[in-house]
A and B are shown apart, each in its own frame.
Chain A
């Protein structure tokens, strides 16, 4: 394992996820192979963390089993994760909604590919709706982090676990085939040991670790047949989500200080947008970038603020137009909002984006 403090290494985003998991005290990974993210499980298998940190690594029989292993491990207080790509994450939705309902922390990584259905193995951002609207049945949300670089793939693993345990809710890293497969420089996070049994018991007094006389029995369930009690539980969840909305919005801005136009893009699309903005500015067109890092909670308030500064917003996503709905909800008709994207696994170029922006805003 590459193991020096601040050494810069070159690796794929998927590999960075695996190394970061080992380094951030992850207790277990449970997953099923699917392109374009299989390097995560493969890297873990090569690294053999069960011999070093004691991390469990298991290839499950399906994504359905994988997510339920995350349910079981998270409900037992452990930092556990799975990863998959779009069709596999669709299969996981049952387990994710059970986790949200039962308030179980855990990490799901989605390295998106094009859909619908079996779709393609090429990159896409077509699962934005699925990720940010909950994805399964019932009223719930999942914390969604969108990395746009290999460095963020590495950094967000620990962040996702911290948020998941802080709020007792599943967290997702919504990546895509570009960020998963591209090789970039990355500084791997420093080693953080796995929590000891005593630390787990102290941090997770709610977990099913075996009933000791010093506490009531712990029962992890999402079931409640009494409507009044179920409503109360739902209100509790919604209260939690409102706290997350108030405290955990993350985004990055690039050259928005003097921007007259704004591009909103996340993940790999934001990288393409950066190049487009750089070229547009050479032509004297003042464009800035707002990159949501948390897709849920969404940086609604910042977009509202920018409405009084910019003349129009172009939402750029590698899909048919999904995040643009959140942008429009924030803008609420104040200024024009357009969308550009491609589907089917085609990644647009900066030049396409430049042409679209000029056309949309008649520059």
Chain B
């Protein structure tokens, strides 16, 4: 069977840009899949030499360790401001941010909204798992009503915590955005769609068509205190009910 590993027989392999560093992500986490898609898209577009990523504060803070492109690590929430400057100063580069819900929809709301509203030619990849993963499962701006986290241990309730924020719906209202979509990576079909969305967003950046936002509704099995399989199921049953998957804006 050894000689089956011939180039003509290869139908799937790890993207070259995804290096061999062991990922720190938990089993069942969506980050690894999205990282792989980004690496694949950059390779397929031939943008290895032109891509500059901006990583967030949160679970994806170490994104720069896994995908072999140039990266800047941003302060919490500030990635869109950083990406704004990089793209304006290097207009032929592929500039994207990779941010979680706390980073993008809470502490960085102003930077997110204004970069999108200016129509910066950047792509924003937004991982929404409705919880703060890196700090250990606290309430996020996108935590669902009734959902339990370490800072809303009895469940999110409006009078104490306010409501979950659909920032992607807000982004779709902004003149500067050309492409706003919500995807997931819990099934093969969903992964394929998410990859197409990332490719579209990256092409928009290169074609200077305005801002693109790709939300990926994601799992956090550790934060949700579920097995990876249970987390996927819970996401389908609860997250998709509130965060509807699909394109919100295509210009």
A-B contact pairs, 8 of them (CB 8 A): A58-B85, A68-B78, A68-B81, A95-B75, A98-B75, A218-B70, A219-B71, A220-B72
Given contacts A61-B111, A62-B110, A210-B51, 14 further A-B contacts (CB under 8 A): A28-B89, A56-B85, A65-B114, A66-B81, A68-B111, A70-B85, A71-B75, A71-B82, A73-B85, A75-B86, A78-B85, A208-B71, A217-B70, A222-B73
Contacts A208-B86, A223-B61; A60 near B69 (Cβ below 8 A): no
- A222 CA to B71 CA, complexed, in Å: 12
| A94 cross-chain contacts in B, Cβ below 8 A | 75
The number of residue pairs between A and B whose CB atoms lie closer than 8 Å in the complex comes to 123
Interface size range of chain A in the complex = 35 or more
Judged by a CB distance under 8 angstroms, whether A69 is at the interface is yes
Judged by a CB distance under 8 angstroms, whether A354 is at the interface is no
- A15 CA to B51 CA, complexed, in Å: 37
A51–chain B nearest beta-carbon distance, Å? 15
Judged by a CB distance under 8 angstroms, whether A209 is at the interface is yes
- A58 CA to B75 CA, complexed, in Å: 20
Among A62, A78, A209, the most chain B Cβ lie within 10 Å of the Cβ of: A209
Q: Mark A189-211, 1 if CB is under 8 A from B, else 0.
A: 00000000000000000001111
The answer to whether A64 and B85 have CB atoms under 8 Å apart is no
Q: Mark A69-101, 1 if CB is under 8 A from B, else 0.
A: 111110110101000000000000011001000
Count residues of B near A (Cβ-Cβ below 8 Å): 31
B53–chain A nearest beta-carbon distance, Å? 9
Q: Which of A21-73 contact B (CB under 8 A)?
A: 27-28, 30, 56, 58, 60-62, 64-66, 68-73
B59–chain A nearest beta-carbon distance, Å? 13
Q: Mark A215-234, 1 if CB is under 8 A from B, else 0.
A: 00111111100000000000
Q: Which 5 A-B pairs have the closest CB atoms?
A: A72-B82, A221-B73, A72-B85, A61-B114, A68-B81
| B111 cross-chain contacts in A, Cβ below 8 A | 61, 64-65, 68
Residue of A nearest to B120 (CB): A58
Taking a contact as CB atoms closer than 8 A, the residue among A27, A95, A219 that contacts B64 in the complex is A219
